[in-house]
Amino acid sequence: MALLRDIVFDCARPAATARFWAAALDGYAVAPYDDAELARLRSMGITSVEDDPTVLVEAVGGGPRLFFQLVPEGKRVKNRVHLDLVAAEPDADTEAEIRRLTALGATVQARYPDNVVLADPEGNEFCLSLRSAL
């Protein structure tokens, strides 16, 4: 039986996209850079973590990791897989959560009775389910 380890995002700006998702998701953070990782980047000629071609976001309490990797091509079509989110607090104001996500860089793509489709700064679609629809 296989276990889910990572959800991988192809992107043009891994560090910025990783920061978006770390801020968007409750209990997630960009993995810290230790001396060994910084040395690995320097060996590749990379002097700033902002230029890291592969950035990891980890769940503080366990759960799937999010991995952001640099790819040369841009996104051209709708995602074949997307994340479905729900506000962390049961009594959360969905509109307030949409405003929080858009302040982080998301854009609203469509609204439906039970969810809102958004896109992250790279254009990857994701849904925010409305608590009342659960």
Q: How far apart (Å, rounded) are the C-alpha atoms in residues 55 and 109? A: 26
**Band of the pLDDT at 5, cuts 50, 70, 90?**
confident
Contact yes or no for 113/133 (Cβ under 8 A): yes
**What angle, rounded to 10 degrees, do the helices at 94-104 and 14-24 form?**
160
pTM: 0.88
DSSP assigned state of 5: -
Q: 89-120: per-residue pLDDT in tens?
A: 767 788 889 999 999 999 999 999 888 999 99
Q: 24-50: per-residue pLDDT in tens?
A: 999 999 999 999 999 999 999 999 999
Q: Is residue 83 classed as helix, strand or coil in its secondary structure? A: strand
84's enclosing H/E stretch is strand 83-86
